[in-house]
Amino acid sequence: MIKEITSRILNPDEFIENQIREISNTVGDGVAINALSGGVDSSVVTALGHRAIGNRLKTFFIENGLMREHEPEQVRSMFEDIGISVEIIDAREDFFKALRGIDDPEEKREAVTQTFYKKVFGKLVRESGAKYLMQGTILTDVDETVAGIKRQHNVFEQLGIDPEQAFGYRIIEPLIQLRKDGVRLIGKALGLPESVFKRIPFPGPALAARIIGEVTPQRVEIVRNATAIVEEFLKDTGAFQYMAILHKDRVTGIREGNRDFGLQIEVRCWDSVDARKATPTRIGFDILEKLGSAIVNQVPGVVSVTYHIATKPPSTMEVV
Amino acid sequence: MIKEITSRILNPDEFIENQIREISNTVGDGVAINALSGGVDSSVVTALGHRAIGNRLKTFFIENGLMREHEPEQVRSMFEDIGISVEIIDAREDFFKALRGIDDPEEKREAVTQTFYKKVFGKLVRESGAKYLMQGTILTDVDETVAGIKRQHNVFEQLGIDPEQAFGYRIIEPLIQLRKDGVRLIGKALGLPESVFKRIPFPGPALAARIIGEVTPQRVEIVRNATAIVEEFLKDTGAFQYMAILHKDRVTGIREGNRDFGLQIEVRCWDSVDARKATPTRIGFDILEKLGSAIVNQVPGVVSVTYHIATKPPSTMEVV
């Protein structure tokens, strides 16, 4: 049983100090490795780890082909600005090959996990000689994985899987007692830029979690376009998270007087404190209408746009 | 080319007088038959026809298993109140058999059309000895059928199909020069109750047009439940049309802490004058949230609800 540290009782400086000490003690004079996605969890882990063991933490950004527009370059340059160097690994082919033909959400997450750990990251770890893997697992990931709602890519011990035996390295999860709001406080206390510690959550399987049905480069490109539009329109809402989802269902539409059997994009925008419960953000129809028009006009093939209006539960934040 | 009569230039009394004369001249002392769905178009045709030729117009309500809650009985009793008798024909088995295994929207509409005309209604016509079939085709149906957007069930001549040769009867379409707003004016002038002439549009293929993927009795029941909730919540919006749509895509949800891979209902509510163009109705989030909760709580299996926010075009009013 993991002991939760709520954001109300969290003392950020003390927490950081404790974690730095613990990481240093664990790794000793060894080498650790971590994968940075640019999300708040992995960014905070990256900053914590570098505080603790400096350049003996090797930080990689895995370009899996599932990230948002310009994301790999933006993340690297942001960390360069605070003196942390990040290496980008192009693994797009591996991921798309693993995802080919997969429709089921759980199998999809599993394909991303397995490709990440066994193929791409496992190879990096072996080559680096690192025996320690740092990860941004938070308590909500553990809850949802244990409940069987979602298979998070970074919760092995809770499932009775020994990562050392299964993958050859020991996992360090400094944020596992926190929820998202606590992680943001730590990010702020570490001096990360606001764009990082206030960054909206983005899932482990990245845009693959925003696609119903098969994940192909073409379908990722569609949801990537829609995501850029949604993020631009909704960035000032103050919402917890917002996203575009590509449906598999096709719907009837009409273009220049002719029938167009096209695609549907679903927009979700959530108000939430810690992702355990969430309600749809009350966005004005001025914005919703412009958003709908922008998506149908700028994303080829899309004829229909919806806005999610149910709460979590029984919905989840992501669709996959 | 059909000459449009816009609602602006329409003189309802004169139009009714002309149509009654024309119907009488066409049918002579013969017998005509029509199918009443309870929608404004077929209701106006039923009232017009009975004014013209009285009981020599035989009016049937085809219970295809695709209608809304209590609809067959409500329509019959409404027309009984104004002295018109309507016979209900139970053809549920025929329709579900024809729809089995069909996913494609056009094939679905075609299956409903063929079952209606060739099987169910064709039999009624033969048994009745009627040589005339009255239908509520309006100009928007013709436009959309000619454009290939949708195959309406009642537009044969425009497609170069001779219904006498194909189906054995002549079709009378008294409303073909009008659009929906004009038809409502005629309904009012005919003395139909407001619940009829202001009734929101409902498609020919009924709830089959509100289901993405296969139409089964179980899936119709789901969308029927959701439709009853949507109509109750949105009846006071003054909107042109509102509906619930059952998606085929399944989405991840969470129920009592456990993963629930469930269904999604899409709600559409349209502001429109004549159905050619339409914008989403600006419904307050107080209502949208309650509507979302009601659907996930009352319709078994549903974990997600969305509200449509794109315009027509490029969306269409219905999804199938």
Facing B148 at nearest CB: one of A259, A303, A311: A259
Positive or negative CA dihedral for A123, A128, A134, A136?
negative
State mean pLDDT over B92-107.
Answer: 96
CB within 8 Å: B310 and A320: no
What DSSP character marks residue B86?
Answer: E
Instruction: Quote the pLDDT of residue B220.
Output: 98
Residue from B251, B250, B225, B204 nearest B108 by CA: B204
How near does any CA of chain B get to the CA of A59, in Å? 32
Mutation target vs B (from A109, A144, A285, A309; most B CBs, 10 A cutoff): A309
| Mean pLDDT score of chain B | 91
Q: Are the C-beta atoms of residues B299 and B222 closer than 8 Å to each other? A: yes
Query: Inter-chain contact B147–A253, Cβ cutoff 8 Å?
Result: no
What are the C-alpha distances in Å from B81 to residues B77, B135, B231?
Answer: 6, 22, 23
Residue of A289, A303, A312 with shortest CB distance to B280: A289
Report H helices in B129-275. Answer: 139-146, 163-167, 180-189, 194-197, 217-234
Q: Which residues of A touch B319 (CB under 8 A)?
A: 251-252, 304
pLDDT value of position B198: 84
DSSP string computed for A216-277: -HHHHHHHHHHHHHHHHHHTTS--SEEEEEE-SS-EEEEETTEEEEEEEEEEEEEE-SSSSS
pLDDT band at B153 (very low <50, low <70, confident <90, very high): very low
pTM for the full model? 0.85
Q: Of A98 and B145, which is predicted with more confidence?
A: A98
**Rounded to an integer, what distance in angstroms lies between the CA atom of residue A253 and that of residue A61?**
40
Least Cα distance to B202 among B144, B254, B131, B275 occurs for B275
Decide which of B146 and B223 is more confident.
B223
> B85-110 in b/e burial notation, b at 16+ Cβ within 10 A?
ebeebebbebbbebbeebeebeebbb
Q: How many C-beta neighbours within 10 Å does residue B112 have?
A: 25
A88 forms beta bridges with A61
Do residues A290 and B279 lie in contact, with contact meaning Cβ atoms separated by under 8 Å? no
**Token couple for A97:** 């090959």
> Cβ contacts (< 8 Å) between A310 and chain B: which residues?
292-293, 295-296, 303-305
User: Please, how many CA atoms are within 13 Å of residue B195, restricted to the half-sphere of its CB?
Assistant: 8
Whether B148 shows a pLDDT value over 70: the answer reads no
Task: Give B258 or B239, the one with higher predicted confidence.
Answer: B239
- Selected for mutation to probe chain B from A258, A306, A318, A319 (highest B CB count within 10 Å) is A306
Closest Cβ opposite residue A310 in set B212, B292, B314:
B292
Chain B hits for A226, CB-CB cut-off 8 Å, are none
For tokens 């456990």, the residue is B258
Enumerate the residues of chain B whose CB falls inside 8 A of the CB of residue A145. none
Ranges in chain A, pLDDT < 70: 147-161, 167-168
Name the more confident of B180 and B306: B306
Closest by CA to B50, choosing from B68, B64, B32, is B32
With an 8 Å Cβ cutoff, are B288 and A279 in contact?
Answer: no
Residue A108 CA to residue A112 CA, distance in Å, equals: 6
- Model pLDDT, residue B161: 65
Q: Do B307 and A305 touch (CB under 8 A)?
A: no
Quote the minimal CA–CA distance from B17 to chain A in Å. Answer: 34
Q: What is the pLDDT of residue A153?
A: 46
Nearest by CB to B266, from A150, A267, A306: name it: A306
Name chain B contacts of A250, Cβ cutoff 8 Å: 212
Q: What percent of chain B shows pLDDT beyond 70? A: 94
Which tens digits make up the pLDDT trace of B52-62?
Answer: 999 999 999 99
Distance CA A292, CA B216 (A): 32
Closest-CA distance of chain A to residue B174, Å: 25
Q: What is the ipTM of this complex?
A: 0.83
CB neighbours of residue A293 within 10 Å:
16
Strand partners, B62: B89
